[in-house]
Amino acid sequence: MQGGDLDGFAIIPDEVRISGTARTLDAESRDRMEQAVRRVCDGIATTHGGEIELAYQRIFPATVNAEAPTRHVETTVVETLGEAALVRNVPPSLGGEDFSFMLEQCPGAYCFLGTAEGEGTPPLHNARFDFNDAVIPTGCRLLLALGLRALETTPASAS
């Protein structure tokens, strides 16, 4: 939020700018979020006799995995890396991801390859994050197994 001048903190500014990110877990929630933001902005304008100019940009849709590809990933992880390698019931992520555009066109599954080296490892997007190169062979094995399994289970007419 940006409005006014720090030297004139008791002066109401002529203009205030607010920017942020609204992330949702599905398309329906995304629509409701935009409608809610518009209602709040309109209410503020009406209450204070002002005008609101809202530029609501939808950048990334929600990343939603399809059921069959998700099962494909789960089965392949267990067969390739063992049951202990599969983390189940992971809370939904509100991360913005361009892969979501692909999922809108073709059913698929977005999955993570863990790189943490124990408790206290800085997470992704943290200034202290350092990619753990030791997981590269594991990631390669998993990607290869996913591709081979997909080829084995996809009918020839669909490829």
Q: What is the DSSP string of 11-68?
A: SPPS-EE-------SSHHHHHHHHHHHHHHHHHHHHHHT-----------------HH
Q: Do 95 and 36 share a structural domain?
A: no
Helix, strand, coil tally for the chain in percent (to 5)? 45, 5, 50
Same-domain check for residues 87 and 141: yes
Residue 90: inside a domain: yes
pLDDT at 153 over 90: no
Instruction: Output the pTM of the full model.
Output: 0.77
Q: Are 72 and 150 in contact (CB under 8 A)?
A: yes
Q: How many separate domains does the chain show?
A: 2
d(CA 131, CA 133): 6
Please give the distance of CA 79 from its chain centroid, rounded to a whole number.
27
For residue 66, what are the contacts with CB-CB under 8 A and spacing of at least 6?
Answer: 103, 107, 108, 109
Domain that holds residue 27: 2-48
Confidence grade of residue 36 (pLDDT, cut at 50, 70, 90): very high
- Band of pLDDT at residue 4, cut at 50, 70 and 90: confident
Q: Indicate if 39 and 73 belong to the same structural domain.
A: no
What percentage of the chain exceeds 90 in pLDDT?
A: 65
79 plus 130 within the same structural domain: yes
* Continuous segment of H or E residues that includes residue 3: strand 2-3
> How far, in Å, CA of 85 to CA of 53, rounded?
49
Find out whether 142 and 80 touch, Cβ atoms under 8 Å: yes
Is the residue at 35 inside a domain?
Answer: yes
142 within some domain: yes
